[in-house]
Amino acid sequence: MTEERPTRCIDPVMKYCQMCKYGLVIYPEGTTKEDVLYEGACFDTQCMYNLEDTIPTRKEIREFNKEWKAHDKQQKKLERAEKQKARRLEKSRKRRRTSD
C-alpha cells in the first residue's frame, strides 16, 4: 500500500515543517548533537515535496484562529487554576506556621 503524495502543505498557516512527516530539518554545517540537544541550535526547514510555499485559504486561516483562541482560552483557564492552587497552598502553610 503506497501513500499518496500531498498536493498541499498539511499545515499551511504555521508551516511547522520540523514536526511534519514530510518536513526536513537542516542544521548549519558544523552543528553537533550537543548543540542541538543542549544549546538550542538554529536550523532551517523545508518540505520534501516543496510545499512550504503553500498559501493558506481563508477557511484554513479561520479554522486556525478558532483553534488558537480555544487553546488560548484553555491555557488561561489552566493558569488561573494554578494560581488559585498556589494561593490555597500558601494560606495552608501560613496557618500551619501560626499554629506551631
Domain range summary for the chain, segments of one domain joined by +: 1-55, 57-100
0.75 surpassed by pTM: no
| C-alpha cell read off for 61 | 486561516
Q: Which residues pair with 26 in a beta bridge?
A: 44
- Please, which pLDDT band fits residue 100 given cuts at 50, 70 and 90? low
Q: How far is CA 81 from the centre of its chain?
A: 22
- Please, which pLDDT band fits residue 33 given cuts at 50, 70 and 90? confident
pLDDT tens, position by position, 35-54: 777 777 788 889 999 998 89
Q: Is the dihedral of CA 68, 69, 74, 76 positive or negative?
A: positive
67 vs 13: CA distance, rounded Å: 12
Cα distances from 48 to residues 1, 9, 16, 18, in angstroms, run 20, 11, 13, 11
Helix H segments across 3-57? 33-34
